[in-house]
Amino acid sequence: MDEVRAWFGEAWRTATTPQPVPDDVVVLGAAALVVVVLLVPGLWRVARNVLTIVHEAGHALVAVLTGRRLQGIRLHSDTSGLTVSVGRPRGPGMVATAFAGYPAPAVLGLGASWLLGRGYAVGVLWVLLVALALLLVQIRNLYGLWAVLVSGVLLWGVTTWAPAAWQVAVAYVVTWFLLLGAPRAVVELQVSRSRERRRGVRRGASDADVLAGLTRVPGLVWVGVFLLVCVAAAVVGGAWIVGLPLR
């Protein structure tokens, strides 16, 4: 018990101790690496699972905050996901829950960039690790369990065994990916919707179309709102990371 208490104490000390801001080559190199991941289809398809995890976690968190009862989360190998909650089928709570998915990675990235700007790079990794642990108990399928476990094990390995410089670099890569990947996912959403329309497929499964059914506001408008939120978060978060003043 004493060893466990000592380990948690050391982990807390490390997470709450500011680290020096790394050189520009690390900060901008992390951004460049993320851009490569976003542009290379094979890399994007694998990394897209991270955004799906955060996307579904966003639905789940807002569902709970608005008084809905969370029944579980499913993650699929095609990088789609499903969060099931019970409550009123319409109303502000359902609208907020449906809206939360696509902005979730951007909002998380914005929070992470705020922490990075204050030197808490390792703290970012621990926050993500705790969030994955909480999410794990809500997963209801094997692929989802595998995706969350692999992500958690990788983060655990970095926070436990990697040198401090590597931990800081990974925190910057993850944060840039959340900030830049969120708009990419929204663009992908609209491309998918357009493709379905050309094929004559009846839409209704995407978050934008669910919101359109709940509010009578066209799905394209909701896609635009998603993109606006994500781009704004990327601009503000990126400025915080590189230390640019915001006016």
Token pair of 106, please? 């951007």
Residue 127's SS3 state is helix
Q: What is the pLDDT of residues 160-209, one digit of tens each?
A: 899 989 999 999 999 999 999 999 999 999 998 888 777 765 555 899 99
- What pLDDT score does 107 carry? 98
Q: Supply the pLDDT for residue 244.
A: 67
Residues 6+ positions from 182 with CB-CB distance below 8 Å: 51, 102, 103, 105, 106, 109, 230, 233, 234
- What Å distances lie between residue 153 and 54, 146, 182, CA to CA? 16, 10, 23
Is 247 a member of any domain? no
**pLDDT for the residue 184:** 97
Task: Calculate mean pLDDT across residues 230-242.
Answer: 96
- What is the model's pLDDT at position 132? 95
Indicate the pLDDT class of residue 62, thresholds 50, 70 and 90.
very high
Tally of domains within the chain: 1
The answer to the question of residue 49 being in a domain is: yes
pLDDT at 247 over 60: no
Range of the domain at 95: 2-242
Does the pLDDT at position 1 exceed 90? no
Instruction: Report yes or no on 116 lying in a domain.
Output: yes
pTM of the model: 0.93
Residue 55 lies in a domain: yes
Listed residue (111, 112, 106) closest to 125, CA to CA:
112
Instruction: Taking residues 65-74, report their average pLDDT.
Output: 94
Residues 6+ apart with CB under 8 A from 245: 239
21 pLDDT tier (thresholds 50, 70, 90)? confident
Answer yes or no: is 225 within a domain. Answer: yes
**Residue 219 placed within a domain:** yes
Four-residue CA torsion sign, 187, 80, 102, 120: negative
**DSSP string covering 143-174, please?**
HHHHHHHHHHHHHHHHHHHS-HHHHHHHHHHH
Given this model, what pLDDT does residue 155 score?
94
Mean pLDDT, residues 149-153? 95
Is residue 29 pLDDT above 80, yes or no?
yes
Using CA atoms, how far residue 139 sits from 27, 42, 45, 146, 154, in Å, is 33, 25, 21, 10, 18
Q: What are the tens digits of pLDDT across the range 102-144?
A: 999 999 999 999 999 999 999 999 999 999 999 999 999 999 9
In the predicted structure, residue 82 carries a pLDDT above the cut 60: yes
